[in-house]
Amino acid sequence: MIQGVRQFFVEQGFVEVETPALVDSPGMEPHLSALEIHCTLPDGKKKRKFLHTSPEYCMKKLLGAGWGKIFQICRVFRDGEVGPTHQIEFTMLEWYRAHADYRRIMEDCEELIGHLAERVLGRNEISYQGKRIDLTPPFQRLSVARAMSLYAGVDIGRNRDAPSLLEEVRSKGYRFDPDGTYSYDDIFFKVFLEVVEPALGLTKPTILYDYPASMAALARLKAENPFWAERFEIYAAGLELANAFSELNDPLEQRGRFEEEQKLRARLGKPVYPIDEELLGALSRMPPSAGIALGLDRLVMLFCDAPSIQEVLAFPTF
């Protein structure tokens, strides 16, 4: 699998890069927690570092320095993530293209997964947990709004704030505590995880694209309709494989998002990480770009018909 990944990207003219696993500022996403490390310096003083949750920040710094097409295969670390599809330590594939948007990354994904299926399995059709999935490009492409309407009967395009969305989902029979307080994202993900995600990618992988702006993270908003972000995820048999963006390269907007995420982390009682000032500086030099993070262990699960990530790891951490 790893050899096939490298072959694919080298033939596409990408350069393989290596970035530090120990960083000063890990990913800011409120749902992620980094492993904190205290390093001892020669003078005996301690310095706080984190094991990266993704190489994204460093790879964007390389884009800002002039690199055009780069990829990396590395171990990443996310505290508290243990389960059938999660390990605290796992293998990530990330790649980035300068002067491209998320549509080009969609094409990369279709070509890469098809290439790996032929190389590793010798075929483009697989069976995963009783479901037969055709990996031949093109994959199904489905907007988030369409998926929520199709599988949940919920119109998120017309219900763009928490009160109206809550009223909409309750009218469709979804249960929420009447005394609870819910953000837009809380409401969305309760419905999405309950009924939409399990329905994705059941016969062909699904590229689920254009998330609400509140879920943009580091993605660029759509110029013609900034309620939506140029972000997509790939699902096969209900299994999330990858997360991708047309990358935001406006440092002022990104700083504002980081500050909002810091506030949210504080409200949730989670560690508040420092803003990566070097990254913000690099964004001002970074051309319009797109990139993706793909969980290689989950792709191996799919190819091996393994119900648990532990089954595809020689040395599972937990």
Q: How far is CA 186 from the centre of its chain?
A: 18
**Model confidence at 163: pLDDT above 90:** yes
Question: Among 257, 254, 243, which Cα is nearest to 291's?
Answer: 243
Q: Which residue has the tokens 């590793």?
A: 120
Pairwise CA distance, residues 28 & 305, whole Å:
33
Helix, strand, coil percent values for the chain (each to nearest 5): 35, 25, 40
Res 317: pLDDT: 79
Q: Which helix (H) or strand (E) holds 61?
A: helix 56-64
Strand (E) positions, 21-139?
A: 22-23, 35-40, 46-51, 69-77, 89-98, 125-128, 131-134
For 162-295, where are the alpha helices, taking DSSP H only? 162-171, 184-191, 251-267, 277-283
pTM: 0.95
Pairwise CA distance, residues 194 & 274, whole Å:
34
CA-only gyration radius of the chain, Å: 20
Q: Residues 142-167: what's their mean pLDDT?
A: 97
pLDDT tens string 286-296: 999 999 999 99
Res 26: pLDDT: 94
Q: For residue 70, with 0-12 CB atoms within 10 Å meaning exposed, 13-18 middle and 19 or more buried, which class applies?
A: buried
Q: Tell me which fold the domain 2-129+250-312 belongs to.
A: BirA Bifunctional Protein; domain 2 (3.30.930)
CB distance 159 to 165 below 8 Å: yes
pLDDT tens string 224-275: 999 999 999 999 999 999 999 999 999 999 999 999 999 999 999 999 999 9
CB distance 253 to 16 below 8 Å: no
**Model confidence at 27: pLDDT above 90:** no
Cα three-residue angle 279-282-287, rounded to 5 degrees: 130
DSSP for 111-153 reads: HHHHHHIIIIISSSEEEETTEEEE-PSSPEEEEHHHHIIIII-
**N-to-C CA span, the chain:** 23
The torsion angle over the Cα atoms of residues 162, 167, 171 and 176, rounded to 10 degrees, is 70
Confidence at 318, pLDDT banded by 50, 70, 90? confident
Domain boundaries, the chain: 2-129+250-312
**Model confidence at 283: pLDDT above 90:** yes
pLDDT tens string 81-103: 999 999 999 999 999 999 999 99
